[in-house]
Structure 1
């Protein structure tokens, strides 16, 4: 495939549905939709006639006033405890007030005839209360006049109104949040559909359940129909989810069957064609709930041999069945049997919301819908971005209220404090997605210098993490080339050595999708790394070849000349010096060979022989405890050579001290580290002002060169040097 064809394929895979479908953008769109629902609900709720009164059913004919708003139209005219029996407008007849006007939810009415009757009475009452002045007949015989307000204030809205809009937004955002990271999953899409239906149902119910007495009958009918459509959508979406998650029960087009069923049920309500048994609205809902139980039980048995699916399904069923049981017990069954719910409508919606809350905890605990726990990070970014926009709105609302004397101060604060902070936060959250390869080269070069030679796979994963900040990075089987999938939700990247590959999910912690430009950046980085590694390998190979050449020259030329000198020396002393030089040359040559090594036992034996010979020639006592069993291990030639030279230097140092009569050597392996202690006794204390000589400096340099630590201790009657060497030779000196 040509390069241009590859790029075209990547663009199609990343933009089939547009890059705007990143998780954050999906949440933003869902938030806007929820805001529109709440805005519509708020507009039609406050545009209702308002007397400023709260009512309950009275023991006698009429409605009893329980509260009078001190700023409302009825303040000082009607008092708490008064009973309103009837009301009329300027040109209308008297309308009797009874408990039917206090029905919170018309779904409690079991027949179409009752629903039409309520709408007719609402029509009459609404027309009466639209008059400039209404006459109200009280139970005590008084007749008062009140001027209804055309709009009700925000303070008159009940807790139930705000709670309904809140649960609507929560259900919508949970569905959108799960869909935002699993757009290709049918169960996730069905959960989104269910959440949208729930949001429509709850925000619609907030309009007519918050009415004081009267509401425009056309609006009453519209929002009730919208509420029922939302309930049917919510239920059908949940049922479809149970049919397809964690696996499809059958190959039947169940989603379409459910869509047809709820559409017919809703159209039957609106057309009032057929009165259904028991309750014309609740009857189809109960059927859907019973189907949900059947689907759930079937899924349970179908997944019994799949432990992972079984565990996830258990949490889903607990969430769904608890939600269904609570909703049925609190609302639907009492509505069907006694035409009155046990609790207000808000508690029925809260019980239904439990399903969505359960899914959130299911994602955290069981990875429902194969979503990782990092899904919660999306919410953190969304809330942070929302906070910036909210602060903009607050500043915009407050500035017009600032008085003339403090306005210059407010402008200075906004220009010097608020705007810089706001722009900084905005850039951090929503940085421009345009990226250039030059941004990453300094960090790439630095990390290449620091990385371990045998850890290129983990290092490459760290580079990808630092470059793109994906929400999740995991290892996958090997790939040949970089590519996008899931419309840019994931980017698959081969490893440098072709062993594994990496899957990166959602760039910049979920704020954006991966783009074709990201693929180009990865390809450029891989090309740079591979070329650099080739150069490093060439350099290392040349360095090894040169080392081998030097070793051969030393061995053949210098070694041969020293060997001739040993055999042709005129005196034994000269022969001994030549032999010693030849041994040292061999040690230097061996230390340059990185492929060779010396095991611990051989090294300890050589050093013990060396120490015994030195002590015997100087007439000193040697104390060297030998362990019964030595640990197995290897020194590299470089480690052995440096330790050997430092050990010789330490023995020479000990022999220099006047009055030394005993040398103690302790060699051990502790936690994989080689520890060597050489201690000699002193005839007289060493002064505190002792200046470290070249011997100590050489020992320290040699041990640090192989990544070890060197120390010495001066006591009243002894002097000790300590070597501590790690098991593997590092790349650089310490």
Structure 2
């Protein structure tokens, strides 16, 4: 009866060894089409048959040696699986946990039971106690089956290996001092503990500090970027547009996209740790979902959840601060608008009504028109049609040129349609054209002025060309004047660019400015749902 039970035990042990050794060939990613698990089971059966037929003198050469060989094969297959799961964070997390459970349980079982038998020695620990090491394997697999554990796998993975290597170092040093150097058991144990405590543990803490400082440097850099966004943004939209880039910089996910998130809280990580959900900053923005941080190299951890919550809270406060600033600026604009309208407007109107001649009346009307434009610019909600602006720009340029008796060549290629511009945009372009003509008349004797306005759904390009520029006057007047700086400032205020150059006797001015939404919404708004 005992022989039968021993035979069944050997068969069961060999089957477990074969299946565990070949498990990582098919899990979590299948490495190939070869039936490696079936081959392992067949080899285990052959070993069992050889043991039953007593083809060797002792189970030491069949059962125990085969188990040691299966353990080594399992390590080799696991290393192949490690390479295959690169870029697959969920599969890598499962591999880490399963390998950790199987490796520790199997290593304890082999070290306490199989290895002494395979080497022909005696067990140092009673068999009943040694078999308890199998519980490590089963309990580890059971914990890994619970998906929430995978959420903590990164932290468990490093901590468990630190514990394992710390204990292994003490055992190896103790054995080295006893069997090689020949020290007494108590003295060897004391020295091994001292070496582990004074060398290994400080080295481990130093390595962990390096890893922690790397994460801390990334967090510090992201927080500095957040502060820069706060002070550089001139509106709430600026902070909101920078929010996805901030998350991209911090977590480096494989994908950051808009999605309807299935959570109630503002920031939450999925149960498997693969996705980070963030509620939209405002009702006008989409919710965001980040998938697989560090380009798929790991899962989101509780520390990532804490950092994301911190970034979200700081960004919310930044948005609130900008809103308060914009509200205060709007109140101040309204006050200035009232003062200009009631005081300056009334005085200019009195000058217009009491103008002694036509020239003074015209100056008063121009001043009144400039005041109206300034008041409209203070109203952030005021807008005008692009077609009307183009017509006004052309009319004013033509009137200026007629006054100076200089021909105007106006070229226009803009599909205006029903597009609208902000009043500030209209005024800035109007002033750029006016200053360009002023420079042409003041610093040259043009025979003709050419103005070309071209545009698409994103930008307006404005070219002003005049001849009659002498080399001496260009150097002393045009380049040294303030008009160019004013035009450049107005173009940059609209988010555009400005350039000026001289070619022979010609002055060439070019301003390129983006169009306001909704005319340029198809090209200018950041509505991409995926950031890579």
- TM-score band by shorter chain is 0.5 to 0.7
Q: Is it true that 1:726 corresponds to 2:508 in the alignment?
A: no
Q: TM-score, normalised by structure 2?
A: 0.58
In structure 1, how many angstroms separate the alpha carbons of the residues matched to 2:445 and 2:343? 43
Report the equivalent of 2:365: 579
Q: Does 1:623 align with 2:405?
A: no
SS at match of 1:722: strand
**2:485 is aligned with 1:703:** no
The alpha carbon displacement at 1:617 in A equals 2.3
- Mapping for residues 262-661 of structure 1, pairs under 5 Å: 425-429=207-211, 442-450=224-232, 453-454=236-237, 459-463=242-246, 475=259, 476-477=261-262, 479-480=264-265, 482=267, 486=271, 493-497=278-282, 510=298, 513-514=301-302, 519=306, 526-627=312-413, 629-630=415-416, 633-657=419-443, 659-661=445-447
Q: CA deviation at 1:641?
A: 1.1
SS at match of 1:660: coil
Distance 1:609 1:512 in 2: 61
**Which TM-score applies when normalising by structure 1?**
0.44
- Matched residue of 1:624: which SS? strand
8 A contact 2:451–2:462 mirrored in 1: yes
Cα shift readout 1:97-128 (whole Å, capped 9, x = no counterpart): xxxxxxx96833786xx7444178448x99xx
Using the alignment, how far apart are the partners of 1:450 and 1:617 within structure 2? 44
Please show how residues 111-126 of structure 1 align to structure 2 within 5 Å: 115-118=51-54, 121-122=57-58
Deviation at 1:562, TM superposition (A): 1.5
The alpha-carbon distance between structure 1 residues 496 and 617, as it changes in their structure 2 partners (threshold 3 A), is closer
Correspondences of 1:62-141 after superposition (within 5 Å): 107-108=45-46, 115-118=51-54, 121-122=57-58
Q: 1:217 to 1:485 in 2, by over 3 A?
A: same
| Inter-partner Cα distance in structure 2 for 1:696 and 1:612 | 21
- Report the alpha carbon displacement of residue 669 of structure 1 after superposing the two structures with TM: 1.0
Give how far 1:180 is off.
9.1
| Inter-CA distance 545–482: structure 2 relative to 1 (3 Å threshold) | same
How far does residue 668 in structure 1 lie from its aligned partner after superposition?
0.8
Contact 1:507 1:514 in 2 (8 A): no
Conserved 8 A contact 2:373-2:427: yes
* Inter-CA distance 558–717: structure 2 relative to 1 (3 Å threshold): same
Partner SS for 2:509 = strand
Shift in Å, 1:675: 1.3
Please give the per-residue CA displacement for 1:117-158, whole angstroms capped at 9, x wherever unaligned: 4178448x99xxxxxxxxxxxxxxxxxxxxxxxxxxxxxx9x
Whether the aligned pair in 1 keeps the contact of 2:384 and 2:421 (CA below 8 Å) is: yes
* Bigger Cα displacement from structure 2, 462-471 vs 551-560: 462-471
- Which structure has the greater CA radius of gyration? 1
Structure 1 segment 224-239 matched on structure 2, within 5 A: none
Whether 1:676 aligns to 2:476 is no
CA shift at 1:694, angstroms? 2.5
Residues 727/687 of structure 1: CA separation in 2 closer, same or farther (3 Å cut): same
- Report the 3-state secondary structure (helix = DSSP H, G, I; strand = E; otherwise coil) of the residue aligned with 2:302: coil
Report deviation, 1:581: 1.0
Give distance in 1, aligned partners of 2:78 and 2:276: 32
Matches of 1:711 and 1:598 in 2, distance apart? Answer: 27
Aligned to 1:129: none
Question: In structure 2, how many angstroms separate the alpha carbons of the residues matched to 1:718 and 1:109?
Answer: 96
Bigger Cα displacement from structure 2, 712-721 vs 449-458: 449-458
On the 8 A contact 2:412/2:454 being kept in 1, the answer is no
Distance 1:175 1:118, change over 3 A: farther
Aligned-partner Cα distance in 2 for 1:470–1:643: 42
Residue in 2 aligned with 1:164?
Answer: 73
Deviation string, structure 1 residues 357-405 (Cα, Å, up to 9, x no partner): xxxxxxxxxxxx9xx9xxxx979x97xx99xx89x99xx99xx9xxxxx
Which residue of 2 is the match for residue 241 of structure 1? none
Report how many aligned residue pairs link the two structures.
Answer: 421
Q: Which moved more, 1:521-530 or 1:572-581?
A: 521-530
Kept in 2, the 8 Å contact 1:506–1:512? The answer is yes
Whether contact under 8 Å (1:106, 1:115) holds in the other structure is no
Report the structure, 1 or 2, having the larger helix content. 2
Contact 1:492 1:504 in 2 (8 A): yes
Change in Cα spacing, 1:420 to 1:663, as seen in structure 2 (3 Å) is farther
What's the offset of the Cα at 1:529? 3.9
Change (3 A) 1:181 1:542: same
**Shift in Å, 1:543:** 1.2
Residue deviations 1:598-640 (CA, integer Å, cap 9, x gap) = 3322122112111222222222211113448556643321122
CA distance in 1 between counterparts of 2:241 and 2:474 reads 50
Distance 2:402 2:459 in 1: 30
Deviation at 1:439, TM superposition (A): 9.7
Q: Is the 8 A contact 2:222 2:249 kept in 1?
A: no
Distance in 1, Cα, partners of 2:254 & 2:418: 45
Structure 2 partner of 1:45: none
Structure 1 residue aligned with 2:505, among 704, 710, 717? 717
Q: CA deviation at 1:586?
A: 1.1
- Report if aligned partners of 1:472, 1:504 keep a CA contact under 8 Å in 2: yes
TM-fit CA distance, 1:650: 1.4
- Given that 2:267 and 2:308 are in contact with CA atoms closer than 8 Å, whether structure 1 keeps it comes out as yes
- Give me the whole-angstrom Cα distance separating, in 1, the residues matched to 2:426 and 2:411: 21
The verdict on how the C-alpha distance between 1:478 and 1:554 changes in structure 2, with shifts beyond 3 A counting, is: farther
SS class of match (1:655): helix
2: CA distance, partners of 1:119 / 1:457: 76
1:656-676 CA deviation, whole Å, 9 max, x = no partner? 345422111111115622111
* Residues in 1 aligned to 2:293 and 2:445: alpha-carbon distance in whole angstroms: 72
Whether contact under 8 Å (1:172, 1:192) holds in the other structure is no
Report if aligned partners of 1:649, 1:695 keep a CA contact under 8 Å in 2: yes
Q: 1:170 to 1:523 in 2, by over 3 A?
A: closer
